[in-house]
Structure 1
Amino acid sequence: MDEYQRRGYGGAPVGFGRRPGIVVVDFQLGFTDPRFPLGGAPMINAAVDNTAILLRAARAAGVPVAACYIAYAGAGDAPHWKVAPVIDTLRHGSEAARLDPRIHDPDHDLVLCKSAPSIFFQTNAAPYFVRQGVDTVIVTGCVTSGCVRASVVDAFSYGFRVIVPEPCVGDVAREPHEANLRDIDRRYADVVDLPVCLDYLSNLERPNS
């Protein structure tokens, strides 16, 4: 038992609810394609492939999906990022802003452009899930220590149950990935393996069934 557990962190699991929705955070070419300065990290690439497996099961079960990308017109409409390539390469209409085709289904997914770390910040993600009757948000995407964590905290703050399938999120380095998932798991969400989510989706009742 570590010091956090002794103080009451990491209590009972959050658990899955009755109706899930999935968010896909920033799996755009600027983060997944090695041609771009922020792209091509092996952990992120693996997370894209694992998320594609999750999304096939989710779409087959009629689960709503909200995918986002981050883009700016230039430095003038961006926050004060300390990551120069975010502003230099992630521009509206650029190839770096395109969603990775491995995870994108334009016939099913709600696609959102965001300007801040969280998919929920000043976007339609939360109202969309509320209209769909969602009580559980499964968070995928990159990077774990940044935009994924921010999205988890906001989903938690909106009152959703939050689940993070560890193989479906990725970071540039292993240490911040694991450290942030440990902290997320002790505070806001259940961090689980991919088969746990796939089993949940396979046993899900379809809406209006």
Structure 2
Amino acid sequence: MSDDYSNRSYGEIPVGFGDKPGIVVVDFQVGFTDPQYPLGGAPLVMRAVENTARLLEVARRYDVPVASCYTSYMNEREMPYWKITAVRDTFRDDHPSIALDPRIHQPGYDVVVCKKGPSIFFQTGVADFFAKERVDTVIVTGCNTSGCIRASAIDAFSHRYRTIVPEDCVGDIEEGPHHDNLRDIGRRYVDVTNLETVLGQLETWRQRNAH
């Protein structure tokens, strides 16, 4: 395998974990997590839901800010030019597929936004929420890796957050695009890690900030 990227210094500098974490949960709506829907039930997504639920249980106990999103539109006129029939047909305000999966959603704790584009940060209040909470490190979870996760991670980078993507807390329809996109953003913008490492980082942060 060519190492031309590493020869040109890609991926040499780790992002690292900063002073205050926040978590984004991207599109874990039942349209992606319930097999009864046309986009639902991909094995990598189901794995990511279970792992993200474990992460969030710890994060909420430690008072880490959490922002979740779902994708929905009033009608096709409001939509961007999606090339995916199932998105056009089901991601509507009156369709049950837009509900957040209860395994990852805690009403009264999570900030929830409806997004209209791929990124959780695009024209939503998530960056403002994190600014108020003084977040400098964003942990990205959700689906799909090659689409909305990639877009959200790049926007987090563009907002100057340290950006961490646990591989087992994000998922896609196929393994190839999942791993290819993580490898690519890991060369440029983010630290790609795993659930256990992130849990360890949260524990270190909690101990450092204990009063």
Using the size of structure 1 for normalisation, the TM-score is: 0.97
Corresponding position of 2:147: 146
The answer as to 2:189 corresponding to 1:188 is yes
Q: Give how far 1:87 is off.
A: 1.4
Moved over 3 A (4+): 205-209
Q: Give how far 1:94 is off.
A: 2.2
Aligned counterparts of 2:115 and 2:130: Cα–Cα separation in 1: 16
Would you say how many aligned residue pairs link Structure 1 and Structure 2?
Answer: 209
Aligned counterparts of 1:14 and 1:66: Cα–Cα separation in 2: 21
Asked if the contact 1:138/1:162 (under 8 Å) is kept, the reply is yes
Corresponding position of 2:133: 132
Q: Give how far 1:203 is off.
A: 2.1
Name the aligned partner's letter for residue 167 of structure 2: E
Asked if the contact 1:61/1:204 (under 8 Å) is kept, the reply is no
Q: CA RMSD in A?
A: 1.2
Asked if the contact 1:23/1:137 (under 8 Å) is kept, the reply is yes
Corresponding position of 2:205: 204
Structure 2 gaps, min length 5? none
Q: Deviations over 1:140-167 (max 9, x none)?
A: 0000000000000000000000000000
Aligned counterparts of 2:203 and 2:106: Cα–Cα separation in 1: 20
Name the aligned partner's letter for residue 36 of structure 1: Y
Using the size of structure 2 for normalisation, the TM-score is: 0.96
Asked if the contact 1:74/1:88 (under 8 Å) is kept, the reply is no
What are the within-5 Å matches in structure 2 for residues 62-141 of structure 1?
62-141=63-142
Asked if the contact 1:136/1:160 (under 8 Å) is kept, the reply is yes
Q: Deviations over 1:4-39 (max 9, x none)?
A: 111111111100001000000000000110111100
SS, match of residue 18 in structure 1: coil
Q: Give how far 1:208 is off.
A: 8.3
Corresponding position of 1:161: 162
Aligned counterparts of 2:67 and 2:146: Cα–Cα separation in 1: 20
Structure 1 gaps, min length 5? none
Name the aligned partner's letter for residue 145 of structure 1: S
Q: Deviations over 1:113-135 (max 9, x none)?
A: 00000000000000100100000
Aligned counterparts of 2:94 and 2:76: Cα–Cα separation in 1: 15
SS, match of residue 205 in structure 2: coil
SS, match of residue 118 in structure 1: coil
